[in-house]
Structures are given as C-alpha cells and as structure tokens.
Amino acid sequence: MSGSAFPASPLAEGPPVLLGTSAFGQDERSFPVYDAYWEGGGRAFDTAWLYGHAYGPGCCERSFGAWTRSRGLEKEVWVLAKGAHTPECLPDRVEVQLTESLERMERDGAALYMLHRDNPEVPVGEFVTVLADLVGRGVIGGYGLSNWPLERVREAVAYARAHGLVTPSGVSNQFSLIDMVHPIYPGTETSNDPAWRAWLADGAVPLYPWASQGRGAHALADPAELRTGPLAESWYSEANEQRLRRAREFAEDRGISSTGVALAWTLSQPFPVVALIGPRQPEEVRDSLAAASYRLTAAERDWLETGTGALPTR
C-alpha cells in the first residue's frame, strides 16, 4: 500500500474523531461498538501495540482487524497506530513494533503512525529519520509523536525541515476541558497550557488529543465525586470541579450531554483537532458522534473553561 492509497484524513471528511480501541480485546464487546461508530459515519480508529498488553498482548489489534475483515472494510478504515512504547522507545524498535501491529491487524500499512512515548536520551533526529523512511517506503502515510513535550516536538519539526524530510503529521497528547493535574500513566504529557496552545495555533501540526472528554469525569452523578473518587488523583482540582458544574449547566441549557459538551469544547479550539474518544457502549458512541458536529463560540468556550461572566445566551 502506498501513501497515496491511504483513505482521506479524518480532518478532510467525516466527524473529526477517532474511536479508541484500547478497551476492546474481545470481539463480542468490540464489534457492536465499532458497528455503531461506522453506521454513524465514523471512519477513523486509534490503535496501539500496547493496547490490551496486560490481559492478552495484541488482543485489541487482533479484534479490530477481525472486525475490519468481517465487514469488508480493510481498505476503507483510517488507522492511527502507535508503537515503540517505553521501555522499547528506541529507533531500532520502531519498525519492529509497527510490523507486529500490522501483522496482528492483518494490514499492510497505517495511515498515521506515532511513537507512543518519547525517550529524551535519544536525539530526535534518529527517530525522525526512521519514521520518515517508513513514509518514503509507503508503509505509513505519515508519522506523529504521542506524549512528547513541546520542546522535543519543535526540535523534530525543525530537524525534518533542515534535512529535507517529511515533517510530523500530528501530535497526540492529553487535552480536554478539565486539566490532567497528574499523569494518568507514566510518561504521559498534556498540551493544555498556553505555550502548547500558542504553538498549535500556528497550524503546523494537528492535535490528536486522548482523554478528550475528561476520562468520564463529565458522566459523574455529582461533580463533587471528583474530589474523592477514582479519578481524583489525576483530575481533581477546584477549577476542574467547577468546569464540570459549568459543563452540566451548559448541557441542560443546550439539550446535549455533559460529555458531549466536553467533546464540543475540545473540537472548538482555534487550531486543528481530531479527538480520540473512548465510548464503551453503542449508545455512548452515538452520543459522541452527535456532539462531534456541535461547535462552540469563543465566548462559550472561554466561559466553560474560566467561568468568567455568565452563561452566554444563544
């Protein structure tokens, strides 16, 4: 499969979301969710070599591959694959894990391939050279960087330009209405700060944020549960609790779900965003797809985040 043969980017057509596959290592659980997503117009999926590793290495990629084959969609789905995860975040392990992922999914390429983590001990040029070579050979349509700090991403872009290599096609860090106050997993990074937002606004590299709907926090029965529940370590702050309350007020006023408001906020940024979403049930998929077309005004977006002023009127 050559790079030109990959399906169009989700930025170009269809809802600007990617359905995460990390929760689906069994066909009986994954197929109904994937079917609902496809029937609703979703065409892009987020996969990774590591998904399902704790309870069956490769099971999530195999189940996704089984679904695409059973539905005859191998050539139509747009796939973001990730690999070279710590402790194997090394240049000579990039293609090894990519090959394993493609074999599990029974695919001959991925539209976009990202390093799942960074290794600051490795010069960025070594990673860029390996990834650009994969693009040149048509194994992947483009490459990106997941959970990388801004300084290293800037350096990667600069290195590629200076050496006449293809530049990164995306960054996948955490980003949502509520801030990740403590890393969910070791080595994870957020792009939810002024420096990142200013850089992304230049439009050089789209953001593919994970946990884009706040990791389920907006579905809590009471926002106060954020203080003491299982989400507290990574998500609790007074500011975040208040954002949950404003999202709920906004949802009631606009007639959409709070989780849908969170997705609309992520997609309404002044820079390119393709959000990774993680619904676990078909009805949750339909809710997310409905919200994916909802866009906030700048005033609505800022009020949800900062609470300045009153709820903007329609």
Residue 240, both tokens: 């975040």
**Could you report the per-residue pLDDT of 230-270, keeping only the tens digit for each?**
999 999 999 999 999 999 999 999 999 999 999 999 999 99
| Alpha carbon distances (Å) from 127 to 91, 153, 156, 164 | 5, 11, 8, 15
State the pLDDT at residue 102: 98
Q: What is the largest CA-CA distance in the chain?
A: 55
Burial class (CB in 10 A: 0-12, 13-18, 19+), 31: middle
Output the pLDDT for position 7: 86
Q: Rounded distance, CA 265 to CA 247, Å?
A: 10
| pLDDT in the model for residue 8 | 82
CA atoms within 13 A on the CB side of 209: 30
Write down the pLDDT at residue 10: 83
pLDDT at 190: 97
- Which residues are paired to 78 by β-bridges? 44
pLDDT at 4: 46
Q: Please report the pLDDT score of residue 203 as a whole number.
A: 78
- How many residues are there in the chain? 314
Host H or E run for residue 282 = helix 282-291
Q: How far apart are alpha carbons 233 and 205 in whole angstroms?
A: 30
Identify the structural domains of the chain with CATH numbers, from first to last: 17-306 (3.20.20.100)
Which pLDDT score, from 0 to 100, does residue 2 have? 36
Which DSSP letter does residue 25 get? -
Which stretches of the chain drop beneath a pLDDT of 50? 1-4
Angle formed by the axes of helices 27-39 and 59-70, nearest 10°: 50
The CA distance from 31 to 42, in Å, is: 14
Bridge partners for 140 per DSSP: 110
